[in-house]
Structure 1
Amino acid sequence: MSRKPKSQPSHGEGPSPHSGTEQHGWSPDVDSTHTQDNPSASRSFHPDKYAPAAGPGRKVSKEETKGTGARTGESTSRSGEDLAKKGKPEGMHDLGPKGRSQRPSGTRDASAVTGVDPQEPHAKDRTGK
């Protein structure tokens, strides 16, 4: 059973509340709407001409000069470089790069699990297949 394709109305015709070719269906054409002047725009892009002169510098309080005593910016965790220097952890098995991305892959046995009641993985998991 063949169906006759529905005919499409030509541009500017159809069920839209707007008529003519200067429209986009259910909303009027953005380019045909009126735009208002915005005098603040030019002031924003020319601060050397319109901005007030700089005021006096602020006073730095003694609390600010003292500091907090915290060791900010220092990492407390081990870096990846440090972990690599230590070598392969016990219970971890490297299976080499996998797939098109060549990402490293591997498995672990029960000695590498830190959870409660670690159990040996299934044979399927050990082979990485």
Structure 2
Amino acid sequence: MDETSQQDNPSAHRSFHPERHAPEKRPGRTAAREETAEVPGDHVKSTGRRGEEQTRGGSSGEKGKHDTGPRGRSQRPSGTKDASAVTGVDPKDPT
């Protein structure tokens, strides 16, 4: 392929020059009073713990799962599991 060609694309010019080609901007809509008022139950306080807090202080306590401690620079928790923690047919390890 010795030469390259470029096709004329007038829509690209319109896309990059909206000040010349786009219609005038119309005024936006005003929000109704019902949309801006507080709604009871709109915010909920979380009562759960983060994953790091749930496993801190040892193993998860689940059968077949083993804590291997924090990994890498981020010190994220890590672990392994054996066949007793696998659901399904024919686990590979003996229980």
Provide the TM-score with structure 1 as the length reference.
0.38
- The structure with the largest alpha-carbon Rg is 1
- Higher relative contact order by CA 8 Å / sep ≥ 6: 1 or 2? 2
Provide the TM-score with structure 2 as the length reference.
0.47
